[in-house]
Amino acid sequence: MSDFVSAVELKDLLDGGAPVRVIDVRWRLDRPEAGHADYRTGHIPGAVFASLDTELSTHGEPSEGRHPLPSTATLQAAARRWGLRTGDTVVAYDDAKGLAAARAWWLLRQAGVDVRVLDGGLRGWKAAGFEVATDEVSAEPGDVVLEEIGADALSIDEAAAFPEVGVLLDVRAPERYRGETEPLDPVAGHIPGARNLPSMLHLDADGRILDRETVLGTLAAAGVTPGTPVAAYCGSGVTAAHTALVLHEVGIEAKVFPGSWSQWSNTPGRPVATGEQPG
């Protein structure tokens, strides 16, 4: 069963009264505070706004990264605020090619929730001719009990050692990987041994996932084939979750280093590599 759902499929589920809770996870790196305001300008009817910064992440010291994992209790409280009840399916979407929605997928999947991502996001919903709403949805509190999260997350030491046992993917833009530019973190470069595979390579211009054979071919070029131990990191653990989603869709399980480069570059003593891919 696919972890992506089309706009038409979601509309049919909603119209049929299926136990589906839709969450709007709008968040962008260039304006992280604007997601809720964007939600109020137009969202899928019935969707509840879910905050990536306060519900799908926590905050701590720079050495913990920009988006450390929330506690299971924090995530459960958020899920209940969204109205999630035991047995419900969650469909997450955003307006940034699924990158933020995938963070919700990654966390909720670990927590034992049936969760999907809207393929093409809000743009795909509108392109299908479906209406949007501008109300502030306040759901009746849910009763879901989440399983403990964190089993799919790597610590910084596990990320450092991962290239010895598998493929560690750096899914940021190539220029950040090579260390030519670093707009956010104190040091430019990448984790030694990591291979660069930007997340955007798996998507078409509308943010929809490419066909299975194309994705598998792109992964194979980076050394990832079915059975390969693989983990992903990015700037702060958001985009890497999308890569984990894509990998899962084609039958490959992946870990995520949620601290990602923001944690690595803020931790004294961690080695930094620059330049092209390792040989």
Strands 114-118 and 167-170: unpaired
Domain 156-264: CATH superfamily is Rhodanese-like domain (3.40.250.10)
| Residues acting as catalytic residues | 234
Q: Looking at domain 4-127, which of 3.90.226.10, 3.40.250.10, 3.40.50.620, 3.40.50.300 is its CATH number?
A: 3.40.250.10
Q: Does position 82 have pLDDT exceeding 70, yes or no?
A: yes
Query: Is 70 exceeded by the pLDDT of residue 114?
Result: yes
| CA–CA dist 222, 250 (Å, integer) | 15
Under the banding of pLDDT at 50, 70 and 90, the label for residue 84 is: very high
Q: How far apart are CA 21 and CA 140, in angstroms?
A: 11
Which residues on neighbouring strands pair with residue 20, listed in sequence order?
Answer: 89
- Mean pLDDT rounded to a whole number for the chain: 95
> What residues contact 220, with CB distance under 8 A and at least 6 apart?
none
Instruction: Give the integer Cα–Cα distance in Å for 264 and 66.
Output: 11
Taking a C-beta distance cutoff of 8 angstroms, is the pair 44, 24 a contact?
yes
Higher pLDDT, 279 or 64: 64
Task: Give the percent of the chain with pLDDT over 90.
Answer: 92
pLDDT (0 to 100) of residue 32 = 73
The alpha carbon dihedral of 95, 89, 149, 76 has a sign of positive
Decide whether 4-127 matches 156-264 in CATH topology. yes
Residue 91 has pLDDT above 90, yes or no: yes
Classify residue 35 as exposed, middle or buried by CB count within 10 Å of its CB (0-12, 13-18, 19+): buried
- Say if residue 279's pLDDT is above 70: no
- Check if the beta carbon of residue 65 is closer than 8 Å to that of residue 263: yes
Indicate the domain borders of the chain. Answer: 4-127, 156-264
Q: Look up residue 83 and give its two tokens.
A: 């109205």
Residue 61 has what pLDDT?
Answer: 84
Predicted confidence (pLDDT) per residue in 124-175, tens digit: 999 999 999 999 999 999 999 999 999 999 999 999 999 999 999 999 999 9
The 10s digit of each residue's pLDDT in 259-276 is 999 999 999 999 999 998
Radius of gyration of the chain (CA): 18
The Cα 169–Cα 277 span in angstroms is 11
User: For the segment 27-61, what is each residue's pLDDT rounded down to a tens digit?
Assistant: 987 777 789 999 999 999 999 999 999 999 998 78
DSSP codes, the chain: --SEE-HHHHHHHHHTT-SEEEEE----TT-GGGHHHHHHH-B-TTPEE--TTTTS-----GGG-SSPPPPHHHHHHHHHHTT--TTPEEEEE-SSTTHHHHHHHHHHHHTT-EEEEETTHHHHHHHTT---B-S---PPP----PPPP-TTB--HHHHHHGGGTSEEEE-S-HHHHHTS--SSSSS-SB-TT-EE--GGGGB-TTSPBPPHHHHHHHHHHTT--TT--EEEE-SSSSHHHHHHHHHHHTT---EE-TTHHHHHTTSTT---B-SS---
